[in-house]
Chain A
């Protein structure tokens, strides 16, 4: 299959890890552990984020942790719940110790209603964590300037949001995501708000390096089937991007020709 050929040379590298799947997933909101494991397996995801606050770090046979480790998934602990840089750094250090990974999804939302990321505290924490040797993936607004500052701070990727987290609204920040993708020298992972497979495909067609989907899979009527649908959509979107999308037709207005002087001067 053509896709397999294209896919072979199209691996995503973040920090020290290489991924063949560009769909990242999360562990929240599933109605039971069995469904979660089945859905994550169906997604073929190789990176799974989990809220540190939900994990029993003393026991690696914890409900969430154990099946993930068993299935060979890379863990991406997130600092969800942290309200400022100090709390986030503390959470990341705890995670590093408990889970033996220096990867962290940096999430700081002082606002408990919409869970919107705090740009100022996120930048501060990103600098501190990068200096401490963490592979930092910050969850941020689709703010191109902030993303450049985070890149300079040493982040391994940026995770701008497509829409408010958990909203399933799709890509509402498209114009800004385009700029972020165009300017970034590190991978761009569109995170939050992707509600259906077509949203994920759209993000990938735009040139996103990966997407992170959690709610849309976890709360679907059939999470396992939805998970697979997302996996396919991400692949299709990526292939579309690599194949080179055609433009939209627009005819130039034939007013007084601007280049006639060239003929006259011959």
Chain B
């Protein structure tokens, strides 16, 4: 059984209605339980939980401290290519956008790695557009050895792959894979993913099953907030996480909650989530799952990141550039996937994090620990 089978238990409209039907009592019950189930999660992301936000934040902070201590992991994305053969309505890399396309060659990757190392990072997130031909397995197998020389931990965010391909990438040093479903509503998914391999909803939905079977160390999931009614979509993320944890119990999990921001080829955002609601979601994820990593990107503003940091977040990106070659060459911006909102340098960000009483973790793994 894969998640595409499991998801049949959850009908979109039923879930949405049941979230909006949650009451005060449901929220109070969820707040007083030591271990929460999916019904409790629904209560915590429901409008009924809004008056309980402070209580949720305090509990979330306490659970996060208990599990992760006073630390924040730092990571940085390295965009290798903006080549993409998908047409997605919300993405700057979408094939129909007339932007300068660029795929880094091995020398350019080396230069980027050196520039990133100088900033202090030892964990790297490799990002590419989804183009099987231009940035597929052959390219990854060339690029990974170059990158592995410089970093203790490699996470990738690339097109979904087959199980055997993941097994191969693990051998090449990949520790973690992030694949976001964008939306768990198949109809809305089809409206936004018009062309390319990404239009296959089920293949993407079962990606984490393939990752689990390949024995990946860590996997990331999430929905792109704004495409669909966010509460319902995030319920599916939580259900997906529960399913995965039970089945692939040797993997670690991380959740992201990117909010749609304006980008080239901009579109109207269906479900706008305000800051308060994002805090509610972060705390609900934490209360629901004290062990999951929660990651906050530079899409969010300086002010928001400063304050939300101690409420449940465990990893942060800093100094990010979303255009290929953005670290070493400082070229003119015209290639990026989305606009960065928090432009502080990693060193500045580290200072702020330390001031809040956290240690910045730049390295938390070593390739020599991965048994062959």
Seen from chain A, the residues whose Cβ lies within 8 Å of a Cβ on chain B are 148, 178, 182-185, 244-250, 252-253, 255, 257-259, 261-262, 265
In angstroms, Cα B212 to Cα A185, docked, is: 15
In angstroms, Cα B129 to Cα A172, docked, is: 53
Q: Mostly helix, strand, loop or mixed at chain B's interface?
A: helix
In angstroms, Cα B32 to Cα A252, docked, is: 10
Instruction: Report the nearest B residue to A250, measured CB to CB.
Output: B32
Chain A contacts for B304, CB-based, 8 A:
265
- Central interface residue in A182, A257, A261, A262, by most chain B CB within 10 Å: A262
The answer, yes or no, to whether B148 is at the interface (CB within 8 Å) is: no
- Within the complex, the shortest CB–CB distance from B60 to chain A, in Å, comes to 9
A-B contact list, 20 entries, CB within 8 Å: A182-B35, A182-B246, A185-B246, A245-B33, A246-B29, A247-B33, A248-B33, A248-B34, A249-B32, A250-B31, A252-B59, A255-B58, A258-B54, A258-B61, A258-B307, A258-B310, A259-B53, A259-B279, A262-B307, A265-B303
Chain B contacts for A178, CB-based, 8 A:
35
Chain A contacts for B246, CB-based, 8 A:
182-185
0 or 1 for each of B281-304: is its CB under 8 Å from A? (1 = yes): 000000000000000000000011
| Pair A257/B54 contact, Cβ less than 8 Å | yes
In angstroms, Cα B310 to Cα A259, docked, is: 11
Chain A contacts for B275, CB-based, 8 A:
262, 265
In angstroms, Cα B30 to Cα A250, docked, is: 11
| Pair B249/A183 contact, Cβ less than 8 Å | yes
Chain A contacts for B59, CB-based, 8 A:
252
In angstroms, Cα B61 to Cα A148, docked, is: 31
Instruction: Report the nearest A residue to B60, measured CB to CB.
Output: A258
Chain B contacts for A183, CB-based, 8 A:
245-246, 249
Select A244's contact among B39, B276, B307, beta carbons within 8 Å: B39
- Within the complex, the shortest CB–CB distance from A23 to chain B, in Å, comes to 25
| Pair B31/A253 contact, Cβ less than 8 Å | no
In angstroms, Cα B33 to Cα A178, docked, is: 14
Chain A contacts for B31, CB-based, 8 A:
247, 250
Chain B contacts for A259, CB-based, 8 A:
53-54, 57, 276, 279, 311
| Pair A262/B32 contact, Cβ less than 8 Å | no
Ordered nearest first, which 3 A-B pairs have the shortest CB separation?
A: A247-B32, A247-B33, A261-B307
0 or 1 for each of B17-37: is its CB under 8 Å from A? (1 = yes): 000000000000111111100
Instruction: Report the nearest B residue to A181, measured CB to CB.
Output: B35
- Within the complex, the shortest CB–CB distance from B59 to chain A, in Å, comes to 6
7 additional contacts (CB under 8 A) given A178-B35, A259-B279, A261-B303 = A184-B246, A247-B29, A247-B32, A258-B311, A259-B276, A262-B275, A265-B275
Instruction: Report the nearest B residue to A257, measured CB to CB.
Output: B54
Q: Which of B216-265 contact A (CB under 8 A)?
A: 245-247, 249
| Pair A258/B29 contact, Cβ less than 8 Å | no
The answer, yes or no, to whether B55 is at the interface (CB within 8 Å) is: yes
Chain B contacts for A244, CB-based, 8 A:
29, 39
In angstroms, Cα B283 to Cα A258, docked, is: 11
Q: Which of B33-63 contact A (CB under 8 A)?
A: 33-35, 39, 53-55, 57-59, 61
Chain B contacts for A148, CB-based, 8 A:
249
- Central interface residue in A148, A250, A252, A255, by most chain B CB within 10 Å: A252
- Within the complex, the shortest CB–CB distance from B63 to chain A, in Å, comes to 12
- Within the complex, the shortest CB–CB distance from A251 to chain B, in Å, comes to 9
| Pair B58/A258 contact, Cβ less than 8 Å | yes
Chain A contacts for B58, CB-based, 8 A:
252-253, 255, 258
- Central interface residue in B33, B61, B249, B304, by most chain A CB within 10 Å: B249
- Within the complex, the shortest CB–CB distance from B41 to chain A, in Å, comes to 14
Q: Which of B308-344 contact A (CB under 8 A)?
A: 310-311
In angstroms, Cα B30 to Cα A248, docked, is: 10
